[in-house]
């Protein structure tokens, strides 16, 4: 008997949604002669040679331990932080405690209670100490509970140890331990010149005000310095000031011998990147190793990588030839050779195999939709494909044992995992085959392909999710899901092509859901992305328009008179823009939408649009308030009132202009949420969106 889904079962946040995720090994790591992973809510260690289980810990057993510490049960394993020199010891952070766990003996060997305001934990195994932030300060916490102040400022606008530049330029954290743990580098961010922006919390009877610092395009921005704290000497210094006060500092890297700190310094215009080397002893600039200028923009995102932990040479990632590739330099910045090349991208440098003298990396070498593992010999330069199967591969490797674990999936394969040879990719042993979690259910039909405009123009990848059974006598309404911004790729060769709860919800209700990755999207090279420069929504609108016309011409089951568009964040901007600038869509839903790029953060906006005074036409063309008078269909704007990314002001300003323009716009607010609605209330959001389309399409 075929089972039918309820309307909510697939939506993330629904308590039953996780059971539809494919089973696959997670958090895989190697240690000595074993590998450890999580599968089916069991943490296991297996012998590499035989595959036999050495020890295992179930989620039930972990929860029994947590109950003894008065901690609520978990529904899944938390993130595991392994101890480098111990095969079965790790630490986890659960609620307000850090717990050190002996997995083999199934007991906590140490528990540290942490305060609610303590955040951004970064553990140094060599010294047995955590770096963490509290409010605007940076501190160290030893395993025995001793606290040391690294840096604190009386002015709350000066912070330490937190991610800088609003997490652009590949910045994900604010602390960087040296290899031996004797020193800690950290960001010091001075935002005293940045405008305060108010967020209002309405959960209490008397609303409270939270002020954040928000550097808008063209306005004063952060001033960032890099501090270095010597743990043994209890000494603090700061690297020499950057060339510009509002420069961006990223790609923070330590030399293996801890004598030097490297960073990429980017001017505020984001048109020149300088890779610099500093002394870790006195903070002085030793040398500008090389510069990467670009007349449009440059965006360094990856730290230097030292193969074999040798301070004499390093690998640098760059899109200087149009695609992200690997370049080899010596320690003084002398260029040695380009290691990878072609119309494809290195997506992740996973490490160095010293035994075979090769770098290991994931790439789009076979297709922009794939992630295939490759190796490149550091001296000979030959590239080998280690996972030739189409799909998205994730790996962990053991240089000592000359093997790696490959976990991959495709549109039609939920998941496979193998133990493979690091020399040539040969499969040594099958580890796990994921069963289809949708077995027995009536599922929508998923189709992917390529839209070709002409021989001389770019290709567009698409996905269609539609009802399983299509009646030849019936036309079906279409909802076009849009994003279109940099760093995001919607179409990939992964399980069900990344189809999520919204798609199932809509297809189950009789809709056709359509996606493409237009110009501006990720992993198609720099030229494909930078087509949006100076007019951030124009190229996508052209591609979206062409794709819709293609859909009407090639899919006779769609109803061109019942077409809607939906997107969030950058996608909310695109959905609103398409409603106001084209006549393709009768209904639109835009969540967390950028309305005026002059209101958006400087780091992101200036990369693609420069500052408003230098690109007045581009900002004017993408200020959607200027086009509200064109609205003909039904538009629902949704926003979260505590959004620190796309400020509530965006859609409120469009709402005000709609009122003065005598245009009717629908509006809904999610109180207390930030940039999106997550958790159990996401079900409400998805039903809200569906209901809006139901009533109007």
Torsion, Cα 179 183 184 185, to 10 degrees, reads: -90
Please state, in angstroms and rounded to a whole number, the distance separating the CA atoms of residues 138 and 136.
7
The pLDDT score that the predictor gives to residue 500 is 86
Active-site residue, from 353, 508, 517, 643: 643
Q: Is residue 373 part of a domain?
A: no
Contacts of 609-615 spanning 24+ positions with Cβ under 8 A? 609/217, 609/533, 609/534, 609/536, 610/269, 610/534, 611/217, 611/218, 612/217, 612/218, 613/218, 615/534
Phi, psi of 526 (to 5 degrees): -65, -40
Across the chain, what does the average pLDDT equal?
96
Active-site residue, from 190, 675, 684, 694: 675
> Domain end: 84, 99, 114, which one?
114
User: In what side-by-side order are the strands of the sheet with 445-452?
Assistant: 445-452, 459-466, 512-516, 476-481, 558-568, 587-591, 634-640, 666-670
**Rounded average pLDDT over 600-626:** 98
Please state, in angstroms and rounded to a whole number, the distance separating the CA atoms of residues 356 and 221.
46
Identify which of 485, 497, 493, 488 has the alpha carbon closest to the alpha carbon of residue 622: 485
* pLDDT tens, position by position, 146-205: 999 999 999 999 999 999 999 999 999 999 999 999 999 999 999 999 999 999 999 999
Please state, in angstroms and rounded to a whole number, the distance separating the CA atoms of residues 638 and 646.
12
Output helix, strand, coil percentages for the chain, rounded to the nearest 5.
20, 40, 45
**Rounded average pLDDT over 367-374:** 98
* pLDDT tens, position by position, 98-148: 999 999 999 999 999 999 999 999 999 999 999 999 999 999 999 999 999
For residues 446 and 411, the answer to whether their CB atoms sit within 8 Å is yes
> Domain end: 85, 114, 143, which one?
114
For residues 92 and 78, the answer to whether their CB atoms sit within 8 Å is yes
Token reading at 661: 């323009």
> Domain end: 64, 94, 114, which one?
114
| 169-207 residues labelled b (16+ CB within 10 A) or e (exposed) | bbbebbbbbbeebbbbbbbbbbbeebeeeebeeeeeeee
Torsion, Cα 464 466 469 472, to 10 degrees, reads: -80
* pLDDT tens, position by position, 628-671: 999 999 999 999 999 999 999 999 999 999 999 999 999 999 99
Residue 629 CA to chain centroid, in angstroms?
Answer: 36
For the question of residue 577 being annotated catalytic, the response is no
For the question of residue 232 being annotated catalytic, the response is no
CATH of the domain at 56: 2.40.10
**Rounded average pLDDT over 84-110:** 94
**Rounded average pLDDT over 451-468:** 90
Q: Is residue 595 part of a domain?
A: yes
For the question of residue 434 being annotated catalytic, the response is no
The pLDDT score that the predictor gives to residue 86 is 79
> What pairs with residue 517 in β-bridges?
none
> 129 — alpha (psi -120 to 50), left (phi > 0) or beta?
beta
Please state, in angstroms and rounded to a whole number, the distance separating the CA atoms of residues 438 and 435.
9
Q: Is residue 221 part of a domain?
A: no
For residues 54 and 77, the answer to whether their CB atoms sit within 8 Å is no
Compute the Cα dihedral for 74, 676, 222, 241 and give only its sign: positive
* pLDDT tens, position by position, 556-581: 999 999 999 999 999 999 999 999 99
The pLDDT score that the predictor gives to residue 626 is 98
Residue 254 has pLDDT above 90, yes or no: yes
Please state, in angstroms and rounded to a whole number, the distance separating the CA atoms of residues 48 and 419.
9
Q: Is residue 519 part of a domain?
A: yes
DSSP per position, 414-450: --EEEEEETTT--EEEEEEE---TTTTB---EEEEEE
Q: Which residue has the tokens 């494919």?
A: 22
CATH of the domain at 462: 3.40.50.1820
Structural domain span for residue 532: 445-696
Please state which of the ranges 83-87, 330-334, 486-490, 614-618 shows the lowest mean pLDDT. 83-87
Please state, in angstroms and rounded to a whole number, the distance separating the CA atoms of residues 682 and 14.
8
- The per-type count for the chain, helices as H runs and strands as E runs, is 9, 42
Q: How far lies 180's CA from each of 125, 309, 351, in Å?
A: 9, 12, 19
Helix (H, G, I), strand (E, B) or coil at 682: helix
Please state, in angstroms and rounded to a whole number, the distance separating the CA atoms of residues 74 and 66.
9
* pLDDT tens, position by position, 8-32: 777 888 877 888 889 999 999 999 9
Contacts of 23-26 spanning 24+ positions with Cβ under 8 A? 23/414, 23/415, 23/432, 23/434, 23/435, 23/437, 24/407, 24/409, 24/414, 24/415, 24/417, 24/432, 24/434, 25/405, 25/407, 25/417, 25/431, 25/432, 26/77
Q: Which residue has the tokens 């823009």?
A: 577
Please state, in angstroms and rounded to a whole number, the distance separating the CA atoms of residues 484 and 539.
9
Q: Is residue 530 part of a domain?
A: yes
Please state, in angstroms and rounded to a whole number, the distance separating the CA atoms of residues 383 and 396.
19
The pLDDT score that the predictor gives to residue 7 is 64
Largest CA distance in the chain: 80
Active-site residue, from 255, 569, 577, 634: 569
Total domains in the chain come to 2
**Rounded average pLDDT over 406-414:** 97
Q: Is residue 540 part of a domain?
A: yes
Token reading at 619: 């900002």
Q: How far lies 465's CA from each of 23, 444, 478, in Å?
A: 23, 6, 10
End-to-end CA distance of the chain: 32
For residues 216 and 226, the answer to whether their CB atoms sit within 8 Å is no
Token reading at 297: 């923009």
pTM (two decimals): 0.97
The pLDDT score that the predictor gives to residue 17 is 82
DSSP per position, 502-564: HHHHHHHTT-EEEEE--TT-SSS-HHHHGGGTTSTTHHHHHHHHHHHHHHHHH-TTEEEEEEE
Q: How crowded is residue 100: how many other Cβ atoms within 10 Å of its Cβ?
A: 17
**Rounded average pLDDT over 32-41:** 96
Q: Is residue 170 part of a domain?
A: no
* pLDDT tens, position by position, 424-454: 999 999 999 999 999 998 889 999 999 998 7
Residue 479 has pLDDT above 90, yes or no: yes
DSSP annotation of 649: H
Residue 365 has pLDDT above 90, yes or no: yes
Q: Is residue 605 part of a domain?
A: yes
């Amino acid at each position: 008997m075929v089972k039918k889904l309820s309307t909510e079962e697939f939506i993330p946040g629904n308590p039953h949604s996780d059971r539809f995720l494919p089973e696959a090994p997670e958090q895989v790591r190697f240690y000595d002669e074993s590998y450890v992973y999580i599968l089916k809510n069991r943490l296991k260690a297996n012998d590499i040679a035989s595959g036999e289980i050495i020890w295992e810990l179930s989620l039930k057993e972990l929860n029994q331990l947590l109950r003894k510490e008065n901690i609520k049960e978990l529904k899944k394993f938390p993130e595991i932080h392994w101890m480098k020199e111990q095969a079965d010891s790790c630490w986890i952070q659960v609620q307000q405690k850090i717990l050190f766990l002996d997995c083999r003996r199934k007991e906590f060997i140490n528990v540290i209670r942490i305060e609610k305001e303590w955040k951004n934990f970064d553990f140094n195994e060599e010294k047995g100490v955590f770096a963490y932030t509290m409010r605007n300060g940076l501190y160290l916490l030893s395993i025995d509970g001793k606290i040391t102040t690294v840096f604190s400022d009386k002015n709350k606008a000066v912070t330490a140890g937190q991610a800088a530049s609003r997490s652009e330029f590949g910045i994900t954290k604010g602390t960087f331990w040296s290899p031996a743990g004797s020193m800690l580098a950290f960001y010091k961010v001075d935002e005293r010149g940045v405008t305060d922006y108010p967020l209002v919390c309405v959960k209490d009877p008397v609303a409270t005000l939270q002020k954040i610092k928000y550097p808008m395009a063209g306005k004063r921005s952060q001033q960032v310095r890099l501090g270095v704290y010597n743990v043994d000497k209890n000494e603090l210094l700061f690297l020499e000031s950057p060339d510009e006060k509002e420069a961006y500092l990223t790609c923070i890297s330590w030399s293996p011998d801890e004598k030097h700190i490297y960073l990429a310094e980017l001017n505020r215009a984001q048109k020149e990147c300088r890779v610099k080397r500093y002394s870790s002893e006195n903070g002085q600039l030793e040398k500008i190793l090389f510069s990467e200028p670009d007349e449009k923009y440059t965006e360094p995102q990856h730290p230097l990588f030292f193969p074999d932990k040798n301070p004499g040479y390093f690998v640098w990632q760059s899109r200087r030839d149009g695609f992200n590739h690997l370049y080899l330099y010596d320690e003084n910045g002398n260029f040695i050779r380009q290691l990878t090349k072609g119309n494809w991208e290195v997506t992740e440098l996973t490490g160095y195999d010293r035994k075979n003298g090769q770098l290991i990396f994931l790439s789009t070498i076979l297709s922009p939709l794939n992630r295939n593992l490759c190796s490149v010999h550091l001296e000979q330069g030959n590239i080998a494909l280690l996972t030739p199967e189409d799909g998205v591969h994730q790996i962990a490797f053991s240089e000592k044992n000359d093997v790696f674990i490959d976990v991959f999936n495709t549109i039609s394969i939920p998941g496979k995992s193998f133990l493979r040879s690091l020399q040539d990719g040969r499969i040594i042993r099958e580890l796990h085959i994921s069963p289809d979690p949708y077995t027995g259910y009536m599922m929508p039909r998923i189709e992917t392909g390529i839209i070709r405009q002409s021989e001389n123009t770019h290709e567009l990848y698409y996905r269609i999710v539609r009802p399983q059974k299509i009646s030849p006598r019936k036309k079906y309404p279409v909802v076009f899901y849009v994003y279109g911004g940099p760093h995001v790729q919607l179409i990939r060769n992964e399980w069900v092509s990344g189809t999520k709860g919204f798609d199932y919800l809509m297809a189950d209700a009789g809709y056709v859901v359509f996606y493409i990755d237009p110009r501006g999207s990720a992993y198609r090279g720099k030229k494909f992305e930078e087509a949006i420069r100076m007019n951030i929504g124009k190229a996508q609108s052209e591609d979206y328009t062409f794709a819709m016309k293609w859909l009407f011409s090639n899919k006779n089951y769609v109803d061109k008179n019942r077409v809607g568009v939906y997107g969030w964040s950058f996608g909310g901007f695109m959905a609103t823009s398409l409603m106001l600038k084209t006549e393709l869509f009768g209904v639109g839903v835009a969540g967390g939408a950028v309305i005026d790029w002059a209101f958006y953060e400087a780091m992101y906006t200036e990369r693609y649009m420069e500052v408003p005074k230098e690109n007045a036409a581009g900002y004017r063309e993408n200020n959607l308030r200027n086009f509200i008078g064109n609205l003909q269909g039904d538009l629902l704007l949704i926003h979260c009132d505590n959004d620190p990314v796309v400020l509530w002001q965006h859609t409120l300003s469009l709402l005000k202009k709609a009122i003065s323009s005598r245009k009717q716009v629908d509006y809904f607010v999610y109180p207390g949420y930030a940039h999106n609605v997550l958790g159990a209330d996401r079900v409400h959001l998805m039903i809200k969106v569906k209901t809006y389309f139901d009533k109007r399409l």
